[in-house]
Amino acid sequence: MPFVNILIELLIGFFALFFITKLLGKTQFAQITPFDFISALILGEMVGNAIFDPEVRIQHILFAVAVWGVLIYTVEWLSQRFKSIRAFLEGRPTLVIDKGKIRYNRLKKNMLDINQLQTLVRAKGHFALNEIEYAILETDGSVSVLPKMKYAPATAEDVNVKGKEVKLPRTFIIDGEILKKDLQEAGFDESWLNEQLKKQHISSYRDVLFCEWIENEGIYAMQYEKSKKTSTT
Please check the confidence at residue 81 and state whether its pLDDT lies above 90: no
Percent of the chain, pLDDT > 70? 70
Q: List, for residues 11-54, the tens digit of each pLDDT value.
A: 776 777 677 666 655 444 445 556 666 666 776 776 676 666 66
Average pLDDT value for residue range 73-83:
75
- Asked which of 87, 109, 137 is the last residue of a domain, the reply is 87
The dihedral over CA atoms of 80, 84, 88, 91, expressed in degrees to the nearest 10, equals: 70
At residue 71, the pLDDT reads 77
- Residue 113 belongs to a domain: yes
At residue 227, the pLDDT reads 42
At residue 24, the pLDDT reads 59
At residue 166, the pLDDT reads 67
| Boundaries of domain holding 36 | 2-87
Please check the confidence at residue 229 and state whether its pLDDT lies above 50: no
Burial of 68 (0-12, 13-18, 19+ CB in 10 A): middle
At residue 69, the pLDDT reads 74
Integer Cα distance of 181 and 172 in angstroms: 9
At residue 42, the pLDDT reads 72
Q: List, for residues 105-145, the tens digit of each pLDDT value.
A: 998 888 888 888 999 999 998 888 888 999 999 877 889 99
Q: Closest Cα to residue 65, out of 2, 3, 21, 6?
A: 21
78 and 110 share one domain = no
18 and 36 share one domain = yes
114 and 185 share one domain = no
| Predicted TM-score of the model (pTM) | 0.57
- pLDDT higher for 139 or 191? 191
At residue 86, the pLDDT reads 67
178 and 215 share one domain = yes
Lowest-pLDDT range of 60-64, 83-87, 89-93, 196-200: 83-87
21 and 47 share one domain = yes
Q: Closest Cα to residue 69, out of 11, 10, 34, 28?
A: 28
7 and 75 share one domain = yes
7 and 72 share one domain = yes
- Residue 213 belongs to a domain: yes
At residue 56, the pLDDT reads 67
Burial of 47 (0-12, 13-18, 19+ CB in 10 A): buried
76 within 8 A of 32, measured Cβ to Cβ: no
User: What is the pLDDT confidence band of residue 80, given thresholds at 50, 70 and 90?
Assistant: confident
- Residue 229 belongs to a domain: no
Average pLDDT, the chain: 78
- Please provide the DSSP assignment of the chain as one string: -HHHHHHHHHHHHHHHHHHHHHHH-THHHHT--HHHHHHHHHHHHHHHHHHT-TT--HHHHHHHHHHHHHHHHHHHHHHHH-HHHHHHHH---EEEEETTEE-HHHHHHTT--HHHHHHHHHTTT---GGGEEEEEE-TTS-EEEEE-GGGSPP-TTTTT--PPPP---EEEEETTEE-HHHHHHTT--HHHHHHHHHHTT---GGGEEEEEEETTTEEEEEETTT--BPPP-
The domain tally of the chain equals: 3
At residue 164, the pLDDT reads 66
CATH code: domain of residue 214: 3.30.240.20
Average pLDDT value for residue range 160-167:
68
Average pLDDT value for residue range 67-73:
77
At residue 133, the pLDDT reads 93
Please check the confidence at residue 198 and state whether its pLDDT lies above 70: yes
- Asked which of 122, 151, 180 is the last residue of a domain, the reply is 151
Integer Cα distance of 110 and 3 in angstroms: 47
- Asked which of 71, 87, 103 is the last residue of a domain, the reply is 87
